[in-house]
Amino acid sequence: MPVHYSKLRGYKGEIYPVNPGAAQVQGLRAWPSISAIGKPVDCAVIAVPAAQAVAAVEDAARGRVPLAVVFTAGFAEVSEPGRLLQEEMLRVARAGGVRLLGPNSMGAFDLASGFIATFSSAFEHRGGAGWPALGAVSVASQSGAVGVDILVRLRERGVGLAKWVATGNQCDLDLADCIEFLAVDDQTRVLVVYAEGCRDGARFARALDAAAAANKPVLMLKAGTTEAGALAVASHTATLAAPDELFAALLERHGALRAHSLSELSDLAAACVPGIRPSAPRIGLVSISGGVGALMADEAAARGLEIPPMPESGERRMRELVPFAATRNPIDCAAPAMADMALLARFVEIALEEGGYPALACFLSHLGHVDRNFDELRGRLAAIRRRFPERVIVLAILAPPERCALLEADGFLVFDDPARAVAAIAALWQMAAARARVRSVTGDVPRLEAYRGPAISGATDEAAARAVLEAIGIPVVPAQLATSAAQAARAAERFGGAVALKVVSPDVPHKTESGGVLLGVAAASAAQRYDDMIERVGAAHPAARLSGVLVSPMVEGGVETFIGAKVDPALGAFVAFGIGGVFIEAYRDLAWRPAPLGRGEALAMIRSIRGFTLLDGARGREGADLEAIADAIARLSVFVARHAAELESIDINPFVVLARGALALDALVVPRAR
Amino acid sequence: MPVHYSKLRGYKGEIYPVNPGAAQVQGLRAWPSISAIGKPVDCAVIAVPAAQAVAAVEDAARGRVPLAVVFTAGFAEVSEPGRLLQEEMLRVARAGGVRLLGPNSMGAFDLASGFIATFSSAFEHRGGAGWPALGAVSVASQSGAVGVDILVRLRERGVGLAKWVATGNQCDLDLADCIEFLAVDDQTRVLVVYAEGCRDGARFARALDAAAAANKPVLMLKAGTTEAGALAVASHTATLAAPDELFAALLERHGALRAHSLSELSDLAAACVPGIRPSAPRIGLVSISGGVGALMADEAAARGLEIPPMPESGERRMRELVPFAATRNPIDCAAPAMADMALLARFVEIALEEGGYPALACFLSHLGHVDRNFDELRGRLAAIRRRFPERVIVLAILAPPERCALLEADGFLVFDDPARAVAAIAALWQMAAARARVRSVTGDVPRLEAYRGPAISGATDEAAARAVLEAIGIPVVPAQLATSAAQAARAAERFGGAVALKVVSPDVPHKTESGGVLLGVAAASAAQRYDDMIERVGAAHPAARLSGVLVSPMVEGGVETFIGAKVDPALGAFVAFGIGGVFIEAYRDLAWRPAPLGRGEALAMIRSIRGFTLLDGARGREGADLEAIADAIARLSVFVARHAAELESIDINPFVVLARGALALDALVVPRAR
């Protein structure tokens, strides 16, 4: 198939079929082996049975071929012997200086040069006219089948393609490599990526940064966002699905945009092709139906877009056209405009002239099916499009596909559903905002001294965890370790007022459930409570090592927050912030960011959670000390990034934030298992 | 247009054109007035200028016409004089025994009889072949333009229509009337409704119940779900958008299904047409791509569907077909099935035979474009479809529209996007579950004694609000009203321990913000704190009436919840439950239900909130007394339903729930303004 397709597409380079059993293949001289060709070869396409694949790669190495595309399946994706065979192939390739795409890859193609190294049957559609148009969108997919599906989907909606690659088992080249390549590829202006996982967060981030630097949107669909999906992914490509909240944080930080379905992915790709992005999150809505105007306003508001009212001058001009039109925004040009294309176009034009909206969504309902009006409608709209080249203009219209294509050729984004039209504008704005965010990352990352706290590998009880936080510079509530009832009583007296008692043990993770936590203990009863606690926890966990009991003063008031850190073996180090205490489980209201980060980004993180209203001093509450939280998050982020190899996670819960200052009341450090 | 279209569609009844200036209209004898016809007329279609519309209705009344469809616009939707003219028209109609559809209505049609009383131009599409097929879906839309858009959208995806009606200004007949009519209409099996508001929740609920009783799904799209959308709706049809959470609660209780976009609405309509619903929320997933299998699993899990594994016997049979297939569920029949339709069909068949899934989603990618395989694929799938008539089988396939139509004719639901395919199954299950819920509403509604508490109209301060709750039988924390410092001190001593002080005033709604709340006051300092509080609140609100200070014992422990009630003038009475205190604002984690309800439904309401985990006794916490909450919600619901005319809202916040029992700590009753 690659020989046939490449010939068909007029590939200008030499094609050397390799087949020891044939003198000719498809009219071309065939060669018994790659190394027998004796001329420089750029790429070997390997489509032999699994048992012969390693030998074929060896042959490529002998022929000094720098790249082999391996279609052959039956490796790590099917069995343990397959995995070993794949390792062997990689070893042979590395030794011979051959980079591998695959195995189990559906290959790659480049429409412009006619290099079609894939065996997808999609080009056979429509009696062999199934080729996508040449365009600016390139596709990189871990799964060949998904990649082909995306290709057909884009073709059917008239989006032109540049390059396409399926990475398969990724034993060598992976998605990050493909993204990095496409980021500097002249023909590619939009990247569409399907991922099942990520083996190296740092490399992936670098690739995304390269695309951002080239101002190329990266649109990403990822499977395994739920537990059920992650299980399916694991059985599909043996990929360990990355924890979705971490993957999402990585994409957000590095400016990629997430799609959640194949149709949303192709919507977004189509929206990105013209290369226009709104300069602000403001939308104008013009509709020939007041009802749909309201539906679009709902969608815009739900997606965080502003719907600024028309200036009075614009409203006046519109009312002169149709006295009973709704002229505020959404603009309802009402029934007359459905029959009078000149009138309809005037509304659109006035909305752009007077409203100044960087993005406009027009609902035209079934006008695409009205034969007597369509050509006039198209002509008038095209003239407006030319007058405002920098605005995003999206048409929501029901029309036969060929008319949609005409409108797209005129420079409009075209959708059949008004909600999807508005969603596309919201996505374009998100993309613009993400780019601005990537550029505005500030340098206010705390400079931490070299760590001099306790050994991280041993920081498994609360006393050690407290010492770690103190060494990082995160404020911790005072505490004294009592190893006897008398010590507990003395500590309580010293603190004055009520105290908290907490058992210290590396073997009791859920202290509250085991009776290992007592709050509001009066100093007078501290000794008795110490004895009770040791007995109770000892009974619940007979084998647990008990180092004693921490005695701390009670902290009154403040808001309980959560600061956490997690190191994913593949994705890297991340920090989290949210409202703490028991509410964490119920609402999962956590913001995640890759570590390290500066205080400015930490502040943005704090402001991004739904529960921020509990910290911002509204409704007569005292505002919480946001700087204190931001400093703690940033410090923790620097620490985990630096010690990622030694750490699995750190939880500070609660981190109590007061009007001035903040205090960790409890912490858990989980070192990485060796 | 109605004359033309009705003739065209072979309407069998008499058509009497009325036009005083013509002897003939479209070849039919014309009449100078309706009353001049002198024969029984079923329906008058009024399409005269606004100034003549009232006279036309009068004419219809003289001619004893029972129904007038009023196309004429320029009434309440444009101006105050228009509103008065509309009122006049209604008065005339009522006096003359004429029911009105409109004004500002795009009319109605019935495809089967050829009665086409609308002026939509959609039938002119495709050179006059724009008629939808005759089918089982009927459309009722408040907006004519949205109704036509839905009509074209359904036609384009091959969904057949029965009846269509646009209610316009709804001065007489409204959506509830149309739904009630379609619920008993023989041709209608699925109702598609577009609403902007609702004038009478009880009538709307009755109409939905009639549809549920006839086992006809009601699919509803509503504009104005956000503040921005509600503003747009208000300017469109002068409809006060119903608070969305209340409208949603009404739909849910009465078994209607909500769509959130025009495309979702047509997806759901298409999914409902075959009339098959899954018997359980379990889905089988068969895919020719492991990646898309994972994407479908993500979607299914996110929508609450279970993905039960194949039994071992099924896995074995599949592995015999393709050794490296993923056979668990999602089932990935892998690349060979893409080329071998018999093999692909075997996977689908085994999944149905062995998995027993009530619903199956099959991802077939671009097989709809593969000319050499399509007919065989179709034939094999159709045979399977016939073997399992009671299962929901959805195909996600990329195919030319005519092939999609063939697959639909075979009894499959067909989508291009696998996520939408899974979503359709989830919606069908929701519908089945809603029906079961409507049927299973239990009779455990508390019987409340006649209310003997304080006059509701005067229950504006906390002391009176407490008395209202006590009269309803909702437990309230003990409290004593102190009108002097000495009384406050005596009350605190009597309660023992620390007390809470709260100012009592009908004029201080946010007591905390004004310094009118003090918690944990020692008995010894109660007198001083009383004086401080009166002074502080008096300074903040010089004009406020201060009735004194409530002294209550502090309640230790428990979970702060919120129980509320709201009476919407149009929708009726509702109750709410959620986690209370400061978290209400941050998370809006409230469940709403129409009032009254029984304790069983109240329990379901409690279990439905995200924060339920705080009440269920997980993680070593004591479980909260759910029965006590359910009893309070049910009692409040009966009370507000009974006194809806006098009430605007009741907030019980916090309602503290303990391991045994629960207590209202604070309450606010807002009587309806007269």
CB contact under 8 A, B419 and A324: no
- Considering only CB atoms, A586 lies closest to which of B127, B235, B611, namely B611
CB contact under 8 A, A416 and B153: yes
Nearest to A111 by CA among A88, A129, A82, A134: A134
CB within 8 A of B554, min separation 6: which ones? Answer: B497, B498, B499, B500, B519, B520
pTM over 0.90: yes
Q: Is position B449 within any domain?
A: no
Query: At residue A445, what are phi and psi to the nearest 5 degrees?
Result: -80, 130
Residues B248 and B290 in one domain: no
Which CATH number fits the domain that encloses residue B565? 3.30.470.20
Q: Which of A488, A518, A553 is the last residue of a domain?
A: A553
Contacts of residue B362 in chain A, CB cutoff 8 Å? none
Arithmetic mean of pLDDT, A436-460: 81
* Cα–Cα–Cα angle for A150, A155, A158, rounded to 5 degrees: 130
Q: Which residues of chain B have pLDDT under 70?
A: 235-242, 439-443, 619-621
- Whether A191 and A183 have beta carbons less than 8 Å apart is answered as yes
Largest CA distance in chain A: 99
| Block residue for tokens 């009705």 | B6
CB contact under 8 A, A297 and B612: no
Residues A667 and A651 in one domain: yes
Q: Is position B541 within any domain?
A: yes
B83 and A CB contact within 8 Å: no
Residues A42 and A143 in one domain: no
Q: Please give the Cα distance from B386 to B412 (Å, whole number).
A: 10
Contacts of residue B258 in chain A, CB cutoff 8 Å? none
B 514-533 → A contacts, CB under 8 A: 514
In this predicted model, what pLDDT tens digit does every residue of B115-161 receive, in sequence order?
999 999 899 998 888 999 999 999 999 999 999 999 999 999 899 99
Q: Which SS3 state, helix, strand or coil, does residue A574 take? A: strand
Enter the tokens of residue B486.
Answer: 């000495």
Q: Is A242's pLDDT higher than 70?
A: no
In this predicted model, what pLDDT tens digit does every residue of A72-120 receive, in sequence order?
999 998 889 999 999 999 999 999 999 999 999 999 999 999 999 999 9
- Partners of A219 in beta bridges: A192, A257
Contacts of residue B419 in chain A, CB cutoff 8 Å? 260-263
Q: Please give the Cα distance from B562 to A486 (Å, whole number).
A: 44
Alpha helices in B334-461 (DSSP H): 336-339, 341-355, 371-387, 401-409, 418-439
In this predicted model, what pLDDT tens digit does every residue of A292-323 receive, in sequence order?
999 999 999 999 999 999 999 999 999 999 98
Q: Alpha-carbon torsion B309, B314, B315, B318, what sign?
A: negative
- Whether B150 and B175 have beta carbons less than 8 Å apart is answered as no
State how many domains chain B has: 5
Residue A367 is predicted with a pLDDT of 95
Q: Is position A241 within any domain?
A: yes
Arithmetic mean of pLDDT, A439-462: 82
Q: What percent of chain A has pLDDT over 90?
A: 78
Residue B239 is predicted with a pLDDT of 59
Burial level of A536, CB count in 10 A (0-12/13-18/19+)? Answer: middle
Q: Is position B85 within any domain?
A: yes
Residue A436 is predicted with a pLDDT of 77
Q: Which SS3 state, helix, strand or coil, does residue B164 take? A: strand
CB atoms within 10 A of CB A412: 22
Contacts of residue A235 in chain B, CB cutoff 8 Å? 290, 326, 328, 332
Arithmetic mean of pLDDT, A438-451: 79
A 333-362 → B contacts, CB under 8 A: 335, 338-339
Label residue A10 left, alpha or beta by phi (over 0 means left) and psi (-120 to 50 means alpha): left
Preferred mutation among A289, A363, A372, A590 to probe B, highest tally of B CBs within 10 A: A289
CB within 8 A of B43, min separation 6: which ones? Answer: B65, B66, B67, B68, B69, B115, B117
Residues B502 and B575 in one domain: no
Q: Is position A447 within any domain?
A: no
B370 and A CB contact within 8 Å: yes
Which CATH number fits the domain that encloses residue B518? 3.30.1490.20
Q: Is A511's pLDDT higher than 90?
A: no
Q: Please give the Cα distance from B490 to B527 (Å, whole number).
A: 9
Which CATH number fits the domain that encloses residue B17? 3.40.50.720
Q: Alpha-carbon torsion A147, A148, A154, A159, what sign?
A: positive
- Whether B329 and B310 have beta carbons less than 8 Å apart is answered as yes
Helices B626-642 and B599-608, interaxial angle, to 10°?
Answer: 120
Residues B144 and B55 in one domain: no
Enter the tokens of residue B190.
Answer: 């699925």
Contacts of residue B156 in chain A, CB cutoff 8 Å? 398
Percent composition of chain A: helix, strand, coil (DSSP 3-state, to 5): 40, 20, 35
Q: Please give the Cα distance from A548 to A534 (Å, whole number).
A: 8
Question: Which residue type does A9 have?
Answer: R
| Block residue for tokens 């049979």 | B317
Q: Is position B471 within any domain?
A: no
Q: Is position B464 within any domain?
A: no
- In angstroms, the Cα distances linking B448 to A225, B117, B563, B594, B649 are 49, 51, 18, 17, 19
Q: Which of B235, B270, B305 is the last residue of a domain?
A: B270
B119 and A CB contact within 8 Å: no
Q: How confident is the model at residue A366 (pLDDT cuts 50, 70, 90)?
A: very high
CB contact under 8 A, B297 and A582: no
> DSSP letter string over B302-331?
HTT-B-PPPPHHHHHHHHHH-TT-B-SSSE
In this structure, of A171-180, A481-490, B47-56, B333-342, the range with the lowest mean pLDDT score is B333-342
* Cα–Cα–Cα angle for A347, A349, A352, rounded to 5 degrees: 110
Range list of β-strands (E), A262-358: 283-287, 331-332
Q: Is A635's pLDDT higher than 80?
A: yes
A369 and B CB contact within 8 Å: yes
| Block residue for tokens 């479809």 | B385
A 475-504 → B contacts, CB under 8 A: none
Residue B19 is predicted with a pLDDT of 95
A581 and B CB contact within 8 Å: no
> CA of A337 to nearest chain B CA: how many angstroms apart?
12
- Partners of A166 in beta bridges: A107, A141
Residues A313 and A434 in one domain: yes
Residues B189 and B202 in one domain: yes
Q: How confident is the model at residue A230 (pLDDT cuts 50, 70, 90)?
A: confident
CB contact under 8 A, A236 and B579: no
Average pLDDT in chain B: 93
Residues A583 and A608 in one domain: yes
For chain A, the first-to-last Cα distance in angstroms comes to 49
Q: Please give the Cα distance from B639 to B91 (Å, whole number).
A: 36
Residue B427 is predicted with a pLDDT of 96
Query: At residue B565, what are phi and psi to the nearest 5 degrees?
Result: -140, 145
Q: Which SS3 state, helix, strand or coil, does residue B119 take? A: coil
Enter the tokens of residue A33.
Answer: 């082996």
Contacts 24+ apart (CB under 8 A), A487-492: A487/A548, A488/A526, A488/A527, A488/A529, A488/A530, A488/A549, A488/A551, A489/A523, A489/A526, A489/A527, A489/A530, A491/A526, A491/A551, A492/A521, A492/A522, A492/A523, A492/A526, A492/A551
- Whether B214 and B187 have beta carbons less than 8 Å apart is answered as no
Q: Alpha-carbon torsion B573, B575, B580, B585, what sign?
A: negative
Q: Which of B536, B553, B570 is the last residue of a domain?
A: B553
B228 and A CB contact within 8 Å: yes
Which CATH number fits the domain that encloses residue A155? 3.40.50.261
- In angstroms, the Cα distances linking B202 to A589, B559, B595 are 37, 34, 11
Domain that holds residue A535: 478-553
Enter the tokens of residue B466.
Answer: 């407490």
* Peptide bond just before B217 cis, omega within 30 deg: no
Contacts of residue B149 in chain A, CB cutoff 8 Å? 289, 292, 365-366, 398
Walk across the sheet containing A517-521 and list its strands: A480-482, A548-553, A499-504, A517-521
Contacts of residue B289 in chain A, CB cutoff 8 Å? 143, 145-146, 149
Q: Is A241's pLDDT higher than 70?
A: no
CB contact under 8 A, A369 and B330: no
A 230-259 → B contacts, CB under 8 A: 230-233, 235-237
Residues A74 and A149 in one domain: no
Residues B547 and B584 in one domain: no
> DSSP letter string over A193-254?
EEES--S-HHHHHHHHHHHHHTT--EEEEES--SHHHHHHHHHHH---PPPHHHHHHHHHHT
Residues A621 and A526 in one domain: no
Q: Please give the Cα distance from B624 to B603 (Å, whole number).
A: 12
Residue B242 is predicted with a pLDDT of 66
Nearest to A179 by CA among A117, A130, A131, A250: A250
Q: Please give the Cα distance from A497 to A446 (Å, whole number).
A: 36
Nearest to B422 by CA among B296, B271, B309: B296
B 132-161 → A contacts, CB under 8 A: 141-143, 145-146, 148-149, 152-153, 156
Average pLDDT in chain A: 93
Arithmetic mean of pLDDT, A502-520: 84
Q: Please give the Cα distance from B581 to B73 (Å, whole number).
A: 50
Q: How confident is the model at residue A439 (pLDDT cuts 50, 70, 90)?
A: low
| Block residue for tokens 């709704």 | A326
Nearest CA in chain A to B323: A78
ipTM greater than 0.85 = yes
Enter the tokens of residue B189.
Answer: 């099996």
Q: How confident is the model at residue A206 (pLDDT cuts 50, 70, 90)?
A: very high
Q: Is position A193 within any domain?
A: yes
Residues A327 and A370 in one domain: yes
> CA of B369 to nearest chain A CA: how many angstroms apart?
5
